[in-house]
Amino acid sequence: MSVQIKKNRRFIAWVCILGVIFLLSPLSTHSGEYHNPKQNTFLKTTETLACSQCHTMHGSQGGQSMIYGGAATVYPYLLRAATIVQLCRTCHENNSLSMSNPTPPDIWNNTLGYTPSGGDFANRGYENEQNRHSVGQTNVTPPGSNPTITITYFSCINCHDQHGNTNYRNLKKRPGNASSDITVSYTLDGAGTCSVGTTPCDINDVTTTGQGTTTNLYKYNRGNVTFSKAASNSNGIAPWCGGCHTKWHGAGGTTDVGGAVNGDTGSSPWVRHPVRDVNIDQGNSDLHADRSNWASLSSTVRTRAVDPDNLAPTSSVADEQPFCLSCHYAHGGGNPNYTSDSTLDHSNLVFIDGSGNINIDSAYTASTGRIRNLCEQCHNQ
Ligand code: HEC
Ligand code: HEC
Ligand code: HEC
Ligand code: HEC
Ligand code: HEC
Ligand code: HEC
């Protein structure tokens, strides 16, 4: 064997060993970086959340408790709070650690001056279990799960990956019954579309003027988020919710949702509201949806819909498709009636008032608010 071949073999062996080391190193798993492996960050700065902001090795530093709130104890998984929900709320409610740049988005009862994309868990300070995902509860079952799921402790990490991933909002790739990865992406208005797999789906390099140039909170503002159409119908937000609410999501023509692939076409009625495949154009030709009315609404009032072309609808073209977040908030809904008639506040629903405000906004007027105002944007019955 020539010296040259031996050298080449040794070289290849080294490349293989280095490759294995690289694959096993933390660099390639990205765990713990600001919940996710960001490349494009707010003002292109580094936003790395340290392990020690959530974990403590011994519960004590400098003789002081490392537990948030100061308790002299330690908790499972070396966490700095008694429960996962409490840990997440330490930053994501009232910004109790006074962080800035980036500021943690408030998901409990947001008073940071923007409308939170996911809604509130305790809108108006009210924890209404009928009107929110009941985080912190034990032994809960998602309606429509098939096979039936029982979640022994329902928390933020049933839906979000605490160590980050490349999905929109670090959404878990396999929620509930999902047996393969579900990717979710979005378009951040003024900043561009983020493609899952290459850059983290959490692009934050805002280039427009306005809120985005001064704060990371721009990307959590409901009005700045548009849901793109996934290349395949097994990806995107509606199939993602379907990971737990299995029967609520499906292709047109299946037993669970009824209809047909291309809309009801006048002869195949839906048995559950369609949440994919079918757009307003189709509904318009089937005489079930009112495209002109939908197109006439101002973009600030129009409810969310998956938007394949990212273009505003016109009276002749409207490819928007209704999906779960056209009618629901992901976290919890508005509680405008909680003191008088709380039975109206249920199922995380989006209600719209006579001026077009949604029920999580402080400007919402309960006396003119109706869910009918939402349905009629598309149906105008
Ligand atoms: C935002 C908070 C947060 C940060 C930051 C964080 N973790 Fe965690 N980690 C958690 C939570 C919550 C759990 C508990 C998961 C469970 O109950 O299953 C956990 C679990 C773990 C576990 C055990 C189970 C597993 O998922 O492997 C390890 C190991 C771990 N973390 C290591 C780290 C390291 C190392 C870092 C820093 C690179 C880090 N964590 C950063 C919140 C965090
Ligand atoms: C990890 C599983 C899981 C995922 C994913 C999930 N849910 Fe749920 N959902 C539940 C559970 C459990 C309940 C029942 C307990 C409760 O009310 O929170 C529930 C209840 C609901 C309710 C009824 C609320 C109430 O208080 O009665 C609505 C509406 C809802 N989910 C919508 C959604 C939407 C929309 C999505 C996607 C953005 C989604 N869910 C994703 C687990 C899940
Ligand atoms: C049932 C699934 C589910 C649960 C449980 C859940 N989230 Fe979310 N979360 C989502 C989805 C889906 C979005 C994206 C919603 C959107 O943009 O409309 C989101 C968005 C967010 C955001 C971005 C801010 C915003 O207003 O959209 C943060 C931060 C967040 N979640 C934190 C949490 C924390 C902390 C908990 C636990 C207290 C939690 N989530 C529980 C599904 C969930
Ligand atoms: C030490 C403070 C801290 C803790 C604890 C913490 N977070 Fe966060 N989180 C932040 C900050 C700050 C941001 C904003 C990052 C940004 O804007 O880029 C954030 C952002 C997020 C986002 C949005 C990510 C995106 O795609 O923009 C989610 C989802 C989230 N956190 C979930 C959680 C969950 C779930 C927990 C509990 C396991 C948790 N956080 C605990 C500080 C924290
Ligand atoms: C973002 C637009 C949008 C919103 C909002 C919306 N829908 Fe629909 N809806 C559609 C489309 C599109 C179809 C499919 C029509 C078709 O197949 O031709 C549909 C189908 C239906 C059908 C079934 C018709 C059939 O063919 O069997 C009913 C009933 C319905 N919607 C009621 C409602 C109600 C009630 C609300 C409010 C809670 C609502 N919709 C909100 C767009 C919407
Ligand atoms: C057109 C509006 C609309 C769309 C789209 C829609 N929902 Fe609903 N959802 C409602 C309304 C209204 C209710 C109240 C109960 C009812 O009418 O069935 C509800 C109730 C629910 C409930 C509570 C059921 C219970 O037993 O308490 C869950 C869970 C839910 N929806 C999840 C979803 C998921 C997941 C999607 C997407 C796959 C979705 N919804 C799409 C309007 C909608």
| Number of structural domains found in the chain | 1
Give distance in angstroms: CA of 348 to centre of ligand 2. Answer: 9
- Residue 337 near residue 320, CB atoms below 8 Å: no
Residues 6+ apart with CB under 8 A from 172: 157, 158, 159, 160, 161, 165
Among 145, 240, 327, 375, which residue has the most ligand 6 atoms within 8 Å of its CB, making it the best to mutate?
A: 327
Is the pLDDT confidence value at 357 over 90? yes
pLDDT score recorded for residue 167: 83
Q: Is the pLDDT of residue 221 over 60?
A: yes
- Rounded distance from Cα 164 to ligand 4 centre (Å): 9
pLDDT band at residue 214 under the 50/70/90 scheme: low
Residue identifier of the C-alpha nearest atom 39 of ligand 6: 324
Query: Distance between CA 241 and CA 329 in Å, rounded?
Result: 12
SS3 88: helix
pLDDT of residue 380: 83
* Distance between first and last Cα of the chain: 84
Q: Look at residue 366 and give its three-state secondary structure.
A: helix
- Contact of 164 with 32, CB cutoff 8 Å: yes
The answer to whether residue 135 is domain-embedded is yes
Give the 3-state secondary structure of residue 258.
strand
The whole-angstrom separation of Cα 317 and Cα 125 is 41
Q: Where is average pLDDT lowest: 88-92, 148-152, 193-197, 277-281?
A: 193-197
Output the pLDDT for position 35: 61
Query: Residue 343 gets which letter from DSSP?
Result: G
**What are the CA-CA distances from residue 130 to residues 64, 133, 150, 346, 367 (Å)?**
40, 8, 18, 5, 21
Token pair for residue 42? 């707010």
Structure tokens at 371: 């869910």
CA of 347 to the centre of ligand 6 (A): 7
Structure-block tokens of residue 132: 């929110």
Cα–Cα distance measured from residue 347 to residue 257, given in angstroms and rounded to the nearest whole number: 19
DSSP type of residue 293: H
User: Per-residue pLDDT for 236 more than 90?
Assistant: yes
Q: Which range (106-115, 218-227, 235-244, 271-280) has the least confidence?
A: 218-227
The residue whose CA is least distant from atom 24 of ligand 1 is 77
pLDDT tens digit string along 157-181? 999 999 888 788 889 999 999 999 9
Collapsing DSSP to helix, strand or coil, 128 comes out as coil
Around Cβ 118, how many Cβ atoms within 10 Å?
Answer: 21
What is the pLDDT, as a whole number, of residue 101? Answer: 73
Q: Token digits for 25? A: 């190193």
Residue 73, pLDDT above cutoff 90 = yes
Report the percentage of the chain scoring pLDDT > 90. 63
CA of 118 to the centre of ligand 6 (A): 16
Nearest-CA residue for atom 32 of ligand 1: 51
pLDDT tens digits along 78-123:
999 999 999 999 999 999 999 887 789 999 999 999 999 999 999 9
Chain-centre distance of CA 135, in angstroms? 15
pTM given for the model: 0.93
Tell whether 294 is covered by a domain.
yes
Residues 246 and 262 sit within 8 Å (Cβ to Cβ): no
Q: Answer whether residue 61 is part of any domain.
A: no
Would 107 be classed as within a structural domain? no
* pLDDT attached to residue 96: 92
Domain annotation covers residue 64: no
Domain limits for position 293: 114-381
Q: Which of 13-27, 45-59, 213-227, 353-367 has the lowest mean pLDDT?
A: 13-27
DSSP assignments along 131-186, one per residue: GB--TT-EEE--TT-SSPP-EEE--GGGTB-TT--SSGGGB-SS-TT--S------
Q: How many residues does the chain have?
A: 381
The chain-wide mean pLDDT, for the chain, equals 84
With b for 16 or more beta-carbon neighbours within 10 A and e for fewer, the 197-233 pattern comes to eeebbbbbbbeeeebbeebbbbbbbbebbebbbbeee
d(CA 250, CA 143) in angstroms, rounded, equals: 15
206 falls within a domain: yes
Q: Is residue 22 part of a domain?
A: no
Domain-embedded: residue 83: no
More confidently predicted of 324 and 11: 324
